[in-house]
Amino acid sequence: MFPGQGSQVLGMGLDIYNAFLSAKQVFLEVDDALSFNLSDMIFHGSADELKQTENAQPAMMAVSMAHVAALREEFGINLADHVSFFAGHSLGEYTALCASGVMSIADTAKILKIRGLAMSTSSIMSGTMAAILGLNLETVEMLINEQYSAGKKAGTAIVLQIANDNAPGQVVVSGTRNAVESFITIAKKNGAKRSVLLEVSGPFHSELMQNAAYILADCLDQINFLKPAKPIIANCTARAESDNFRELLVQQITGRVRWRESMIFAKTNGVSKCWNIGAGKVLCGLAGRTCPEFSLVNINSVKTIEEAAKMIGAQQ
């Protein structure tokens, strides 16, 4: 599992950059592809600069792929030999495709830079996102439908949809700012434990991202997609996919990230252990809430890479 935007933190990946030549080479390859010293920003820049969407997206991929490269080159562990599926949350899906051999690191970095810039600047109108905690998916959907009906009766056009179905009791909505802010109040009145605006630069995974989808589609037309070493559990379908990645990635820009369903699909298809590879621990947390029986491992440092290598070696 590869994390998405929001898990970035200043200095992420610096320990493996210094410890493993293979990891350092990934960062340098990304810098070269972007003609920009992204690595220096990740390690020594400002948090505000790093969280900008066009920087955070290739940065998160670089950190995850550096861990993948260290496992492979330093410890002889090719992930495709040990996993049933790859998956990634939103931008993490690009990392999953890269890790499975569908796209090169250089191409993935370039796409994510373009994707991030398009997502932060191409919204049809001003919008935002909010996390709704403590309500299930069905309740959130019902409340959204009620808000649409009320808006229609009042002659008010709104855009509001579910962006992320992350885990039981954790849903993210996206849309026009007024609609999202109104929904926060509605959700709290209907039993949400917390409903909070997210610090994002746009209404991601909503129809307001259609212009970004057009830009991304043109970019992806230039990419030669290869067959994955193992299937990808796609965000928009929550099932294993081995082709049609261009269409799936374009759909993802305006569509729902079905992460809870993706974890259920993985469990149903024999998965019992999940590895979160890259910055943070968010995806292990979400997977554990959805499927408590999962064994969960975070691989996000020199120490955890070494521990994972020993664990995998012992199982061979």
Residues marked active site are found at: 90, 205
d(CA 85, CA 240): 7
Tokens 């993948």 locate to 68
Which string of DSSP letters, residue by residue, matches 124-159? SS-EEEEEEES--HHHHHHHHHHHHHHHHHTT----
Are 256 and 236 a contacting pair, CB within 8 Å?
yes
Element (H, E) at 65: helix 53-75
Return the ∠ at Cα 51 (arms to 45 and 52), rounded to 5°.
100
Q: Encoding tokens for residue 98?
A: 């890269």
Tokens 């320990």 locate to 15
Q: Is 222 exposed, middle or buried (0-12, 13-18, 19+ CB in 10 A)?
A: exposed
The CA-atom distances, in angstroms, between 216 and each of 62, 83, 240, 250 are 20, 29, 22, 7
* Cβ neighbours of 261 (radius 10 Å): 18
Return the ∠ at Cα 172 (arms to 130 and 4), rounded to 5°.
105
Q: At what angle do helices 53-75 and 21-34 cross, to 10 degrees?
A: 150
Q: Encoding tokens for residue 117?
A: 């810039």
d(CA 117, CA 172): 21
